[in-house]
Structure 1
Amino acid sequence: MEKPTTVRVGDAAALRAVTHPLRARMLGSLRVDGPATASELGRRFGESSGTTSYHLRLLEKFGFIELDPEQPNARDKRWRALHMYTGWSNVEAAKNPALGEAVREMNRRQLNNVVEATAVYEGEKARWGDEWAEVSGHGDHAVRLTPDEAQELRDRITALVHEYHDRRPEPAGTEMVRLFVALFPVDDDMN
């Protein structure tokens, strides 16, 4: 298994580039579904190819994507993600007001993703059947960790997700699932 890559963003403008809702969805699609053209992304997200092409060029400008070396033909440009994840330093964001605001916007976007994914699933729960109803949902855990242990836990969760992602062939009955992980310290009276 090739180690998934993370781009560490220290520039507020670059991070703001991926807080845009359509660009975030397009980048996520390139990361999960693989390379695509502006036209394919336009159909996928109900946008014109001109709109998706514009946003793809911005993602390229900030180093999130590139032209795929394996182009389908001479006319269509297929794009691919350069990294599986986008990361940043919360310590640096605290020192840089513009970067800090971009990080807060990313955190709001991630929280909104959890809320939206939950609402969509709840609205369509019946179509997924009893097996998915039994295993889907939210949960929370409280455990005392050092910062090093917290990093180890994040790394182990990521490795486990990639172990499932990289298995081939996929077992019958697999569906795309979204797993959201939030990890931060809280006061004892909050657990």
Structure 2
Amino acid sequence: MADRIITEVDELKAVTHPLRVRMLAALRADGPATATELARRFDTDTGTTSYHLRKLARHGFVEEAEQRDGRERRWQASHPTTSWDTAALSTSAEGRAAISVMRQHQMASLQRTITAYETAQTDLPPEWVAAAGMSDLPARLAPRSLHELERRIVAAIEELEAADADDPEARRVLLHFGGFPRIDPPGWADVADADSAEES
């Protein structure tokens, strides 16, 4: 399966619903599931998950999986990852709003990951506690270099994942990457310039 790159606003809006985006993530991470299994996982009813699965299928994000029996449909993600063309979608207010909603979903996912880890860390092996964590690193980069950094990170992940394929200690890890230009508050640059002038 190839990755999915969204270029149309209506496609991105199809996954901005909080339950849809979590269902799609679950199908990618844990494999095919029925509407009933997803309803149980997300503490809702089968009618709701069936409705949202149909919405996702209409836009090509999920598809029917091989059935275990003829009683209930199983669904799978149609692509291993989904990203969006920020440049194309940011040309309209509707597109910018949809991107903003998706970024908030990403932040909520990160918060759930951290909360779950902090709850369970006393039961994890010490090497996993030592390996887990976050970094907040400033850098001075051109836009092309930020694109290249993301490309290299993805390549490194794929290389290490292949190397660890048969390692019994390997387990699923949730990785989050973000890079944004620093936007200083109004007047901050003037204050910084004045401080520099006083020191010289």
Matched, 1:94 2:71: no
Against the structure 1 CA distance between its residues 18 and 187, is the aligned structure 2 distance closer, same or farther, given a 3 Å change threshold? closer
| Counterpart code for 1:127 | D
Question: What's the RMSD between the two structures over aligned residues?
Answer: 2.4
CA distance in 1, matches of 2:165, 2:178: 30
Matched, 1:7 2:4: yes
Q: Pick the aligned partner of 1:50 from 44, 47, 50.
A: 47
CA distance in 2, matches of 1:33, 1:110: 18
CA distance in 2, matches of 1:167, 1:34: 22
Q: Pick the aligned partner of 2:141 from 141, 145, 148.
A: 145
In the TM superposition, 1:1-191 aligns within 5 A as 5-68=2-65, 70-166=66-162, 169-186=165-182
The structural deviation recorded for 1:46 is 2.5
Structure 1: segments with no counterpart, 5+ residues = none
Higher alpha-carbon Rg: 2
Q: Percent identity?
A: 37
The structural deviation recorded for 1:103 is 0.4
Against the structure 1 CA distance between its residues 53 and 187, is the aligned structure 2 distance closer, same or farther, given a 3 Å change threshold? closer
CA distance in 2, matches of 1:164, 1:48: 39
Against the structure 1 CA distance between its residues 165 and 19, is the aligned structure 2 distance closer, same or farther, given a 3 Å change threshold? farther
* 2:8/2:89 contact within 8 Å kept: no
Provide Cα deviations, 1:55-89, integer angstroms capped at 9, x if missing partner: 11010011111112x22222221111111222222
Structure 2: segments with no counterpart, 5+ residues = 189-200
CA distance in 1, matches of 2:139, 2:167: 33
* 1:36/1:78 contact within 8 Å kept: yes
